Structure 1
Amino acid sequence: MAAIRVGKLGIETSALFLCDMQEKFRQRVAFFPEIVSFADRMLQGARILDIPILVSEQYPKGLGPTVPELGTSGMRKISKTCFTMMCPDLEREIESLPRLKSVILCGIETQACIMSTTLDLLEKGFEVHVIADACSSRR
């Protein structure tokens, strides 16, 4: 496993990942409105700073779309059926960002998707910044 370290975030070397904030989770995830609100603040900041934003949806046919209040309307959503965001479509997006060193990670479910994504990113040598106020799970 790669050495774990936390570095400074840089505008040119960072990306925001928004993981699976979908309709079916609304009633099941603790503090869902607050999580979405914090994630939306991160999204607005990333837009202002022109930081790349990648959004995933876990099995959208069954779990519905990303909630509208997150503010991702018109953005491409990467569909996945595994816990990690590191599916082939997202990895292709990462390859198009050659200066990427740091990932800012928000979303649900913390014990599955956020953890799996974090471990996969660390294994690939990225720095990962999990925004605690923008993550939650069912329990």
Structure 2
Amino acid sequence: MRIKANDSTLLVIDIQERLLPVIQDGESVLEHSGWLLRAAQRLGVPVLLSEQYSKGLGPTSARLREGIAAEAILEKLEFSAARSGELFKLPGGERGQFIICGCETHVCVLQTVLDLLQRGNQVFVVEEAVGSRRAADKKLALKRMRQAGATIVSREMVVFEWLEKAGTDEFRAISKEFIR
């Protein structure tokens, strides 16, 4: 199955100010997630953010939150962003495909992915844009998500599938700005 721009939503899970410093390669996770977020915005793909107990973990990193409307942010206490059903009421939450990045791979990302799959959504997890405190936890979570039916992808795989072809104005703009 291919990722379609008009059927997918980018879900950025819990990349929060106080959590990010303890995430292995957290700066890289932030950079890759930001790149994907900007590409999604450029192509008109909805972007949703979730925040796990923001009172304790702080808000989403300012580098990601800029330009995101308040109604596209899900405050949560449950580890899964999908369990309560509130995610699906947000703009873009009704779409069939979810592109996932965020923290922690083995907790909130994993539980969200499992709930989305159980609901019948197609789920694509961006490997370089998810992180955990320990590499072993990330590796196990990715393996479990793959076994459950999620597709593990790279950020460029996502963007090239959103684009579908070269030679368009969108391709030239994305290529110039994002593909180096």
**TM bracket, shorter-chain basis:** 0.7 to 0.9
CA distance in 1, matches of 2:93, 2:26: 32
User: Greater Rg, structure 1 or structure 2?
Assistant: 2
Letter in structure 2 aligned against 1:85 = A
For the 8 Å contact 2:105–2:131, the answer to whether it is kept is: yes
Aligned sequence identity (%):
32
For the 8 Å contact 1:40–1:71, the answer to whether it is kept is: no
Give the equivalent residue in structure 2 for 1:4.
none
SS in 2 for 1:133: strand
Change (3 A) 1:92 1:137: same
Give the equivalent residue in structure 2 for 1:126.
121
CA distance in 2, matches of 1:129, 1:84: 16
For the 8 Å contact 2:9–2:93, the answer to whether it is kept is: no
Give the equivalent residue in structure 1 for 2:29.
35
| Structure 1 residue 68, shift from structure 2 partner | 1.1
**Structure 2 length-normalised TM:** 0.68
Say whether residues 1:65 and 2:62 are aligned partners: no
Q: Which stretches in structure 2 are left out of the alignment for 5+ residues?
A: 135-180
**Structure 1 length-normalised TM:** 0.87
| Structure 1 residue 64, shift from structure 2 partner | 0.4
Letter in structure 2 aligned against 1:34 = S
Superposed CA deviations along residues 83-138 of structure 1, whole A, max 9, x for unmatched, are: 101133212227863xx221100000000111101111111111100001000011
| Structure 1 residue 26, shift from structure 2 partner | 2.4
User: What is the aligned-residue RMSD (CA, Å)?
Assistant: 1.6
CA distance in 2, matches of 1:54, 1:90: 8
Q: Which stretches in structure 1 are left out of the alignment for 5+ residues?
A: 1-6
Ranked by relative contact order (alpha carbons within 8 Å, sequence separation 6 or more), the top structure is 1
CA distance in 1, matches of 2:77, 2:35: 27
Correspondence for 1:103 among 86, 98, 103: 98
Give the equivalent residue in structure 2 for 1:13.
7
